[in-house]
């Protein structure tokens, strides 16, 4: 029989999360999650849903009516869009420059797509011409792309990609989970058809909900796959003209009807996560979206300068680095896990390792969301320098902090 006395109340230790995400949540967001639950069709609840849609239109810089949240982590948003748009044997083109491009390949494979890829070495990005040349060659139905890939810390330029896709009759989808708020993203101006994100990085929220926005081009594809489940189906319902969506939970046609005026009972909304999503967007817009991006830029710049002052090599093409995360190549004489363990045990600071060919060779240090602050940068640089010196990578004490201070002073 279970000994319940062994199970204490949850009381995790404090950590300063300075890795590639998740990050420490803004206290205003965690407080919002403690609000009382209400019914999913309570007028107050449906009003909060409408407010959330309006807030995220401003976040995405779009007028898309279909802008709402998917209950689930970032991957739920990705799967919802891909499951609802990719039919079996559809051609999709995926530019891969890190782990999360490979994830798009994995999910598209499970959608039974015909997958074509172009690849860049990790640490580099694609030029618009490279993507357009591949589109001309493959003639895909959809282009699936990551904006910011935290596995490499690179930011793929997107300002021409949507226009290229529209010119060639291709539907574009972007995973901007790691980049939004920390870097510019303009859905309408860049002519992007579908974008999904999540809260646990620059939004300063918890993982568990995935905001998405869909242009009418993508909405039309989804609605052609309409197949309402029998338990909520009206007698006059007519299925779409195209192959059904092979997921019930991620059926965006039904989810759009749930968020829209019909309010069909597709699922029970994750109330506390909706509150978190609404508060995350409200806080960003209260600060000002451009101000939030600038905050990530200056704190990321200060972190970069401090690391360079420790005579550390930065991974990848720094000119295409995300504002909110930096990759550091591990010195040969330092043990990856030992350094990260000392940062955690002695300073309560978490930084990240990486994946694939970078695993054990590159540290990823973030300046994201609530932690994109001067005090967090200075604490992390202080601890990182101390641990490096303890393990044998000698630095000139104080130069890292001075380099960061110089960045902050120059920004005033």
Q: Which CATH number fits domain 289-411: 3.30.1330.10, 1.20.1280.50, 3.40.50.1010, 3.90.1150.10?
A: 3.90.1150.10
Instruction: Calculate the alpha carbon distances from 67 to 102, 209, 240, 409 in Å.
Output: 26, 13, 22, 39
Angle in degrees, 0-180, between the axes of helices 289-308 and 374-390, rounded to the nearest 10: 20
Q: Does residue 412 carry a pLDDT above 90?
A: no
How does residue 55 score in pLDDT terms, banded at 50, 70 and 90?
very high
Residue 87, pLDDT score: 97
Q: Six-digit token pair at 269?
A: 């909304």
Residue 1, pLDDT score: 85
| Neighbour-count burial of 43, counting CB atoms closer than 10 A to its CB (0-12 exposed, 13-18 middle, 19+ buried) | exposed
| Residue 291, H or E segment | helix 289-308
Known binding residue 28? Answer is: no
Q: Does residue 186 carry a pLDDT above 80?
A: yes
Mean residue pLDDT of the chain comes to: 97
How far apart CA 229 and CA 248 sit, in angstroms, is 8
Q: Does residue 266 carry a pLDDT above 90?
A: yes
How far apart CA 216 and CA 221 sit, in angstroms, is 9
Instruction: For 11-46, write each residue's pLDDT tens digit.
Output: 999 999 999 999 999 999 999 999 999 999 999 999
DSSP class of residue 3 equals -
| Neighbour-count burial of 166, counting CB atoms closer than 10 A to its CB (0-12 exposed, 13-18 middle, 19+ buried) | middle
How far apart CA 323 and CA 340 sit, in angstroms, is 22
Residue 411, pLDDT score: 77
State whether the Cα torsion 360-357-131-112 is positive or negative.
negative
DSSP class of residue 356 equals G
Instruction: For 88-134, write each residue's pLDDT tens digit.
Output: 999 999 999 999 999 999 999 999 999 999 999 999 999 999 999 99
Q: Burial code of 347-370, b = ≥16 C-beta within 10 A, e = fewer?
A: bebbbbbbbeebeeebbbbbbbbb
In the chain, where are the structural domains located? 27-285, 289-411
Instruction: For 231-254, write each residue's pLDDT tens digit.
Output: 989 888 899 999 999 999 999 999
Strand partners, 116: 93
Residue 235, pLDDT score: 87
Class of domain 27-285: alpha beta
Instruction: For 350-409, write each residue's pLDDT tens digit.
Output: 999 998 999 999 999 999 999 999 999 999 999 999 999 999 999 998 999 999 999 999
Q: Six-digit token pair at 15?
A: 């950590």
Domains 27-285 and 289-411 share a fold: no
The per-residue DSSP string of 207-235 comes to SSEEEEEE-HHHHHHHHTT----GGG--T
- The predicted model scores a pTM of 0.96
Instruction: For 155-171, write each residue's pLDDT tens digit.
Output: 999 999 999 999 999 99
Mean pLDDT on 53-76: 98
Residue 39, pLDDT score: 95
Residue 203, pLDDT score: 97
Cα-based angle 6, 10, 275 (whole degrees, multiple of 5): 150
Q: Six-digit token pair at 102?
A: 């490979």
């Amino acid at each position: 029989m279970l000994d319940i006395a062994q199970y204490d109340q949850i009381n995790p230790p404090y950590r300063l999360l300075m890795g590639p995400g998740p990050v420490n949540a803004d206290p205003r967001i965690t407080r919002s999650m403690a609000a009382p639950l209400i019914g999913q069709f309570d007028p107050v609840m449906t009003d909060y849903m409408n407010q959330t849609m309006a807030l995220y239109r401003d976040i995405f810089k779009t007028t898309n009516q279909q802008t709402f949240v998917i209950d689930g982590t970032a991957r739920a948003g990705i799967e919802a869009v891909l499951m609802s748009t990719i039919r079996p044997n559809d051609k999709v083109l995926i530019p891969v420059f890190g782990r999360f491009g490979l994830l798009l390949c994995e999910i598209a494979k499970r959608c039974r797509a015909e997958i074509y890829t172009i690849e860049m070495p990790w640490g580099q990005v694609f030029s618009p011409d490279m993507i357009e040349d591949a589109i001309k060659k493959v003639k895909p139905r959809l282009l699936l792309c990551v904006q910011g890939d935290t596995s490499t810390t690179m930011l793929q330029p997107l300002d021409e990609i949507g226009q290229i896709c529209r010119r060639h009759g291709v539907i574009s989808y972007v995973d901007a989970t790691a980049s939004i708020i920390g870097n510019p993203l303009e859905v309408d101006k860049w002519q992007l058809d579908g974008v999904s994100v999540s809260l646990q990085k620059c939004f300063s929220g918890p993982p568990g909900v995935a905001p998405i926005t869909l242009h009418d081009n993508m909405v039309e594809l989804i609605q052609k796959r309409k197949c309402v489940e029998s338990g909520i189906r009206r007698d006059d319902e007519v299925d779409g003209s195209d192959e059904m969506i092979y997921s019930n939970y991620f059926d965006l046609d039904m989810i759009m009807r749930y968020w829209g005026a019909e309010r069909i009972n597709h699922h029970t909304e994750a109330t506390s996560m909706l509150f978190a999503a609404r508060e995350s967007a409200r806080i960003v817009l209260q600060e000002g979206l451009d101000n939030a991006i600038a905050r990530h830029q200056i704190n990321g710049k200060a972190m970069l300068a401090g690391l360079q002052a420790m005579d550390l090599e930065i991974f990848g093409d720094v000119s295409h680095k995300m504002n909110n995360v930096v990759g550091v190549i591990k010195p040969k004489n330092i043990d990856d896990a030992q350094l990260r363990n000392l940062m955690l045990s002695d300073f309560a600071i978490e930084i990240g390792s990486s994946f694939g060919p970078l695993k054990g060779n590159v540290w990823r240090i973030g300046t994201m969301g609530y932690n994109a602050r001067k005090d967090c940068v200075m604490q992390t640089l202080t601890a990182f320098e101390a641990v490096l010196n303890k393990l044998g990578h000698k630095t000139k004490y104080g130069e890292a902090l001075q380099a960061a201070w110089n960045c902050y002073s120059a920004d005033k």
